[in-house]
Structure 1
Amino acid sequence: ERQKLSIELLTEGMKQLGLLKGKTKDLIKKKTYEKYYMHGVGHYLGLDVHDAGRYFTDHAAKDSRPFAAGMVLTVEPGIYIPPDAKDAPAKYRGIGVRIEDDVLVTESGNVNLTAKVPKHAEEIEELMNAGKAKST
């Protein structure tokens, strides 16, 4: 369900940017989005950065399991446009974007552990520029 929603939203966004053309339903059916979005929406976070198992709601994967209090997972959809992507607008070639949230599952819901981390381009650029100023 989460992966399906991320594919739908990213496909729509890629259409708006001119990266994909066509009907969203057809682009998803043909997996055209995989040209720029080739991974899952996230993973478990634990002792390893990519902790064991997948979180699927259809339980089709043998290593999937339901969420439980104490688990931490990432939410990190991203797109990557190769520098040689001739069908992509030139201004987007060679760009990749993935912004991650780390979410703790609790007994009563969840807590976004990275809620205060900048997510918008302007905020990220401001943070990066502040770091440059300190290093000079």
Structure 2
Amino acid sequence: HGIGHMLGIDVHDCLAVAAEAATMPLEAGHVITVEPGVYLSPHDALVPAHLRGIGVRIEDDIIVTPDGHDNLTAALPRSSDAVERWLASR
């Protein structure tokens, strides 16, 4: 998994797989994801057994504006406690 991709009508827009997407300048109206993650190998003996094979990722969806950017997902919960409260309320 990478650290992000273009976001469009088909979620993983066609620019995500185009070779030129990696060096293409972003323009106003483009939406990208920023989604760093940590993935623990299921086969790594250095990882505690109960954590092997899990992954954690948080995603922000960013729209490029004429004068900068806006985080479209800024209002979503981020801490584990906030996420658990949000899930429990559903």
Q: Give the TM-score normalised by the residue count of structure 2.
A: 0.83
Structure 2: gaps (5+ residues)? none
- The reply on whether 1:82 has 2:44 as its aligned counterpart is no
Task: Give the whole-Å Cα distance in 2 for the aligned partners of 1:79 and 1:123.
Answer: 19
Q: CA RMSD in A?
A: 1.7
Q: Which is strand-richer, 1 or 2?
A: 2
CA distance in 1, matches of 2:81, 2:34: 21
The equivalent position to 2:55 in structure 1, one of 76, 83, 96, is 96
* Higher relative contact order structure (alpha carbons within 8 Å, sequence separation ≥ 6): 2
Letter in 2 for 1:43: H
Q: What's the counterpart of residue 69 of structure 1?
A: 28
Question: Is the helix fraction higher in 1 or 2?
Answer: 1
Task: Give the 3-state SS of the residue equivalent to 1:53 in structure 2.
Answer: helix
Return the match for 2:14 from 40, 46, 52. 52
* Count of matched residue pairs: 87
Please give the alpha-carbon distance, in whole angstroms, between the structure 2 residues aligned to 1:130 and 1:82.
Answer: 32
Rg larger in structure: 1
